[in-house]
Each structure stands twice: as structure tokens, then as C-alpha cells.
């Protein structure tokens, strides 16, 4: 019987192999450009294909940041988190 650790190791190996292939195919990075330059080029291509896609991406980023901010605010104000880390008496 295969245990959970072995299944996890197999999943990680497949994730590394296929994830690297997907990243290499998705982002067309040249050897002489940095990650930021490559990402800027990809974002430019996305905008030229569909300008509304960038607005949707911006709304998504703002909503994720606000959701995480509200979650952190809730965790600090509604729980004893500050007491747990020793910042409140």
C-alpha cells in the first residue's frame, strides 16, 4: 500500500516537471532580459489583445488585497492574537 508521503513526493515531482514546462511556455523570457522586463512585455501583449483584461486584472488584485487586509484586521481585532504574540496585556 502506498502511503501519503510517497503520493505527495510523486505529486511534487510531477508538479516540478510540468510546472516548469508550463512556465517556460507561458512566459517568453529571453536569456538577455530580466524577469521584470519579460513580465512587462507579457502584460503589454495581454493589453493589446484585450484592454478590458487589464481592468479585470486590476480589480482582481485590489479585491484580493482588500480581502486579505480585512482578514488580518478581523484576526487582530476579534481574536486574542495580540495577546498571543505578547503585544497586549
pLDDT in tens, the chain (89 residues): 567 778 888 888 877 776 665 555 555 556 566 666 767 777 787 778 777 877 888 899 999 999 999 998 888 888 887 777 777 76
The pLDDT value recorded for residue 64 is 94
Burial 25-45, CB ≥16 within 10 A → b, else e: eeeebeeeeeeeeeeeeeeee
User: For the whole model, what pTM was predicted?
Assistant: 0.46
The pLDDT value recorded for residue 67 is 95
Amino acid at each position: 500500500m502506498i502511503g501519503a508521503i510517497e503520493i505527495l513526493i510523486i505529486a511534487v515531482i510531477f508538479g516540478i516537471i510540468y510546472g516548469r514546462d508550463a512556465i517556460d511556455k507561458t512566459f517568453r523570457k529571453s536569456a538577455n532580459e530580466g524577469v521584470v522586463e519579460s513580465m512587462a512585455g507579457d502584460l503589454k501583449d495581454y493589453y493589446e489583445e484585450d484592454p478590458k483584461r487589464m481592468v479585470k486584472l486590476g480589480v482582481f488584485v485590489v479585491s484580493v488585497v482588500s480581502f486579505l487586509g480585512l482578514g488580518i484586521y478581523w484576526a487582530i481585532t476579534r481574536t486574542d492574537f495580540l495577546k498571543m504574540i505578547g503585544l497586549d496585556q
